[in-house]
Amino acid sequence: MKIWKQLPYGWKVVFAFVFFFSTTLCFAYFKGRDTRPGVPIEILATTPTEANSWKGHPKVVYFWATWCTICKAYAPILEANLNFLPKSTIFLSVLEAEDSLETKEIMAELTPESKHPIYAANYRILKEWRISAYPTTVFLNGNGEVVFSDTGILSPIGFWLRTFLLRFL
């Protein structure tokens, strides 16, 4: 404890950040390792060509719902986080396919040239992917294996760190 008391305040802050990000990264890794979906994410693709173009690429899959207030609040942060994605990484936005008017309006407004297309997932897919809360962000490596799984808002540093580590895990 003497060493800790002698450290300058700035170093204590650095150690706190490192500890925090290491801990959240470990939780996300072990949650991801526990997620073994029986349904590949390519099932969401609208065409076989689209599904084939996803194979072999790391993917970030963002599960959300229209009624989720945290998802709405996270939207600008998520857009900023997407700037950290390498060009080879594919981003998939997956909307809970509830039978509501708001969901139907969102899906109808989408155009094929949207920046990030939105895919609809039914209960079976959500259950297979162990989505129990929104928003949930799942990071898959090039082999389609889940590496990290996070529920809630991800900081830009945490998002970048996970996408960076996808190359090696």
pLDDT at position 84 over 70: yes
- Is the separation of the CB atoms in 88 and 56 below 8 Å? no
Residues 6+ apart with CB under 8 A from 10: none
Q: Quote the CA–CA distance of 4 and 2 in Å, as a whole number.
A: 5
Q: According to CATH, what is the number of the domain 2-165? A: 3.40.30.10
Q: What is the mean pLDDT of residues 4-25?
A: 85
How far is Cα 151 from Cα 129, in angstroms, rounded to an integer? 13
- The whole-angstrom separation of Cα 143 and Cα 62 is 18
pLDDT digits (tens, 9 = 90+) for 22-80: 888 888 898 888 888 888 888 888 888 888 888 889 999 999 988 889 998 998 899 88
**Spatial distance between the Cα atoms of 57 and 53, rounded to a whole number of angstroms:** 8
Query: Is residue 89 a contact partner of residue 60, using CB atoms and an 8 Å limit?
Result: yes
Q: Are 146 and 138 in contact (CB under 8 A)?
A: yes
Alpha carbons 32 and 34: distance in angstroms, whole number: 5
Render pLDDT for 125-135 as a digit per residue (tens, 0 to 9). Answer: 899 898 989 99
Predicted TM-score (pTM) of the model is 0.84
